[in-house]
A and B are shown apart, each in its own frame.
Chain A
Amino acid sequence: MDNNTKRNEPWREELRKSIKNKERADKSRVHMRELPADYRNKNNEEVNCGLTKEEALNEAKRCLDCPAPSCTNGCPVGIDIPQFIKNIERGEILEAAKIIKQTSALPAVCSRVCPQEKQCEAECIYAQKMGKEAVAIGYLERFAADYERESGQMAVPECAPSNGIKVAAVGSGPAGLAFASDMAKRGYSVTVFEALHEIGGVLKYGIPEFRLPNSIIDVEIEMLKKLGVEIVTNCIVGKTITFEDLQAQGYKALFVGSGAGLPRFMHIPGENLIGVMSSNEYLTRINLMGALRDGDTPVLSGKNVAIIGGGNTAMDAVRTAKRLGAEHAMIVYRRSEAEMPARVEEIKHAKEEGVEFMPLHNPIEYIGDEKGRVKQMRLQKMELGEPDASGRRSPVEIPGAIETIDVDTVIVSIGVSPNPLVPSSIKDLEVSKWGTITVNDGMQSSIPTIFAGGDIVRGGATVILAMGDGRRAAAAMDEYLKSC
C-alpha cells in the first residue's frame, strides 16, 4: 500500500473529518515534562519524562494529516509520519509503533537523540507555512516506542527462513545494529564483532544515561539476539581477526560500521597537562567504565571544568561535569551560540542546569601547576566575520583581547576523525583523503563484498543517518549476494 492509499483508508478519512483543521491548528504544542533542573543536575536520571497517553493523543490531534506530508522529507529514513501519528490519535499505539519500525530500527533511541528541529519537525507544515511550532513528532515517536516496550508486547519482527549465508558486521553502533537487524530479517546468519566489552557504540560509551538510558539500548540488543544475531565482544576486526580470517570462516560479505573514533586535539601549549582530556576519554571513563560510581576506573573532574566545543558531545560532557559536582561547568566555543551544532534542546537543558556559556572564546594555552595539573587557561576572544565554506560566519580573533581563567579540568570536544583500524588493515580498500571509507549509493566499497556506513563513511554524523546507512547497506548487500 502506498502512502496515499493508506491515507484514503476509511478510518483515517473519518478521523480527519472528526476535528476541523482550524481547531487542530489552534492547539498549542505539548510540553514534555522534565525533571526539575536543580534536582536532575545531581544524578543520572533521564531528564525528559515522556508524554502521558492523554498528552500524546492530544498532540496527535494537531497533525493535519497533510495530503503531501512535507515532514517525511525531513526524516532521513522516511518514516511515514502522519500514518503513525494518526494511529496514535485513534488509540492504536502498538500499530503506530509497528509503522515506525518498518523504517527505523531503533525508534526509542532516535526519538530521543535526533535533532528533530533540523529534520522532521523543521519540514512540518506548521513550522514551514503557518508560523507555528511544529507537531512534536519526536515526542510522539518516543511515546509509541516506549508504550510498546512497556506493554511487554514488543513484536519480534518476522524473519525470512534461514538462507544459511553468513555475513558479518564490524562495530555495534547504530549502523552495525541496524544492518544486523535487517539482514537477520532477510534470513542471513549475522555476526556482529565489537572491539569493546559492551555493545552499542557511542550509544553506550558516549551519550550519557540522563539522555539515553542504557536499559533502552539493552532492550533493542535483546531483540537482535531474539532475531538470531550473534554478537562477539572484545574482538577487533583487523587485529584479533583479519578480513581474510572472516572470509576463510565462510563470511560472504562484511559491513563496516566502525564509527568515528579518534579524538582531535588543538595542538596548543599545555594540552597534555594532567586534567586536559578528550570528551571521548571523559565520557568513556564515566559512561562505559562507571568511574565515580561503582567502577575501578578513575576520572578527573574538578570544580572548574571547561569544555571546548559546541556540539552534542560537548553538551553531554558539560552536563556530566555539572552532575559530578563542578561549581563552574563551562562551554567555551569559538563561534556564537547561534552556530553551535548541538541540538537546541541540549543547549536549553544545559543552561537550565546551570552550565555557563562562553561563546566567541578560543583557548590558546593551558597553564599547569608544579605537579603538572592544569590550573588556568588563556582564551582568545573572537568576533564573527564573513560566512565560511560551511555557511556559518567564521570566527576572527580580536587582536589583543586575551583573558586568563581558572580551570582544573578541560575537556576537548572539537570533533573526531574516522577510526583507521579497519581501513588500514584491508588491502585495496579505498578511502578518501579524510580517511572515510568511499562507498557508492548502495554503501558498497571499492571491494564488492565490503559495505560500510555510519560515521566511518560520513565522518561525524547522527544516529539516524548511521542507522539509515546500515539499512541501505543491508538492502544492497542482499541484492548483491543474490546476484552472485
Chain B
Amino acid sequence: MNRILKKEHFSPNVLHFEVEAPQIAKTRKAGHFVLVKVGEKGERIPLTIAASDPVKGSISLVVQRVGVSSAKLCDLNEGDYITDLVGPLGKATHIENYGTVVCAGGGVGVAPLLPIVEAMKKAGNRVITVLAARSKDLVILEEQMRANSDEVIVMTDDGSYGKQGLVTAGIEEVLLREKVDMCVTVGPAIMMKFVALLTKKYNVPTMASLNTIMVDGTGMCGACRITVGGKIKFVCVDGPEFDAHEVDFDEMQMRLSSYKEIETEAMKHYIETAAI
C-alpha cells in the first residue's frame, strides 16, 4: 500500500502523484482529502484527492512544493512508498445541478478545485472555471480543467498569459455577463476573502474550501479550527467546505501564519542538508 505508481511534473513546483490506495480509491468522493506523512518523524499534511481509479486501486494527488513536508513528498520517486496515508477525510462536496457554476482557483487552490470542477460538470452544470496565477509558468492543470469545463478563464497578475488581473476580475466578468447560480472558490485565504466579498455583492451563494493547518484530521486536536458565522468549526470534520460569506478569512489567514518563522528556518535547513 501507499506505493507511488506514477510521478510527473505539472510545473517545476507542482507534481502529480498516482498512489496505490485501493480502499480510499473505492470510498472517496469529490472534496475529500487524505493526510500524508513522509518518514517516521514526518509531519502529517492534508492533500486533496484530485482523482481516483477504483479499478486500479489508486488515487491522484497534486502537490505544490511550499515547505519541508511537501518537499519531502515531492522528492519521492516512482516505486517509493509514502510512510503513512490515511483517508478519505472531510465531508464530500455538496454536488448538485445548480445551473451555472463558477469555479475559481488560485495558487495552491487549483489542485483541490479539479475534482470539484469534474463533479460539477458530471452533475449537469454549466461550469466556468477561473484559474489565477502570478505568471504564465505558474498556471497549472489548465488542460484538465478545460476538459471538464464549458469555459476556462485564465488570469495572471502580470498579464504574461490569459488576461491580466486578479481572480476576482475574471469572476466579475462572468457575473456581469450572465446569471450565476453558485460559486466555488479554493485558494489562499486572502483570495477567497475577496472572492467572497465580490459574490456577496452579486448575491451569488459561494462555497470556499479551506486549507488550514491540521494535525490529526479526525476532529481530535482543534488545530484546524476557524470561525464561521461566529461559531468555532473544525475544518477537518465540519468542512473543508463552508459558506464563504460566513467565514472569517482574516482570522484564518492569521492562523495559517502560526508557524511561519519555524517553517522558514526548517526549509532553509532542509535545502542546505539536501544540497550536501
**Residues of A in contact with B (beta carbons under 8 Å apart):** 195-197, 233-236, 239-242, 261-263, 265, 267, 271-275, 277-278, 280-281, 284-285, 289-290, 294-298, 300, 371-372, 419-421
Contact partners of A294 in chain B: CB under 8 A: 41
* Chain A to chain B: the 10 pairs with minimum beta-carbon distance, closest first: A372-B254, A281-B221, A234-B86, A261-B220, A296-B43, A197-B84, A278-B222, A298-B262, A297-B43, A295-B41
**Nearest CB of A to B38, in Å:** 9
Cβ A265 vs Cβ B86 within 8 A:
no
Q: Which of B215, B219, B223, B251 contacts A261 (CB 8 A)?
A: B219
Which of B12-20, B115-123, B124-132, B224-232 lies at the interface? Answer: B224-232
The listed residue (A195, A235, A277) touching B223 by CB distance below 8 A is: A277
A contact residues around B227 at 8 Å (CB): 272
What is the total number of residues of chain B having a CB less than 8 Å from a CB of chain A? 42
Residue of A nearest to B259 (CB): A298
Chain A residues contacting B271 (CB-CB under 8 Å) are: none
**A263 to B, closest residue via Cβ:** B222
Residue B87 CB within 8 A of the other chain: yes
* Pairwise interchain contact A236-B266, C-beta atoms closer than 8 A: no
How many A-B pairs have beta carbons closer than 8 Å: the answer is: 115
Residues of chain A within 8 A (CB-CB) of B85 are 234
Q: Output the least CB separation between A448 and chain B (Å).
A: 25
A308 CB, min distance to chain B CBs, angstroms: 13
Map CB proximity to A onto B1-42 as digits: 1 under 8 Å, 0 otherwise: 000000000000000000000011001000000000101011
What residues of chain A lie closer than 8 Å to B72, measured between beta carbons? 296
Which A residues touch B39, using CB under 8 A?
Answer: 296
Contacts of B188 in A (CB 8 A): none
Q: Are A295 and B225 in contact (CB under 8 A)?
A: no
| Minimum CB–CB distance for B235 against chain A, Å | 12
Which A residue sits closest to B86, measured CB to CB? Answer: A234
* A285 CA to B259 CA, complexed, in Å: 13
CA distance A296 to B254 in the complex (A): 21
B223 and A296 form a contact (CB under 8 A): no
Q: Is the CB of B218 within 8 A of A236?
A: yes
Q: How far is the CA of A424 from the CA of B117 in the complex (A)?
A: 28
Given A274-B255, A419-B218, 4 further pairs, Cβ under 8 A:
A239-B87, A274-B254, A274-B257, A281-B223
**Which of A240, A275, A284 lies in contact with B221, CB distance below 8 A?**
A284
Give CA–CA (A391, B144) in the complex, Å: 63
With A234-B85, A239-B87, A265-B232 as given contacts, are A372 and B218 in contact (CB-CB < 8 Å)?
no
Partner among B68, B84, B216 whose Cβ is within 8 Å of the Cβ of A284: B216
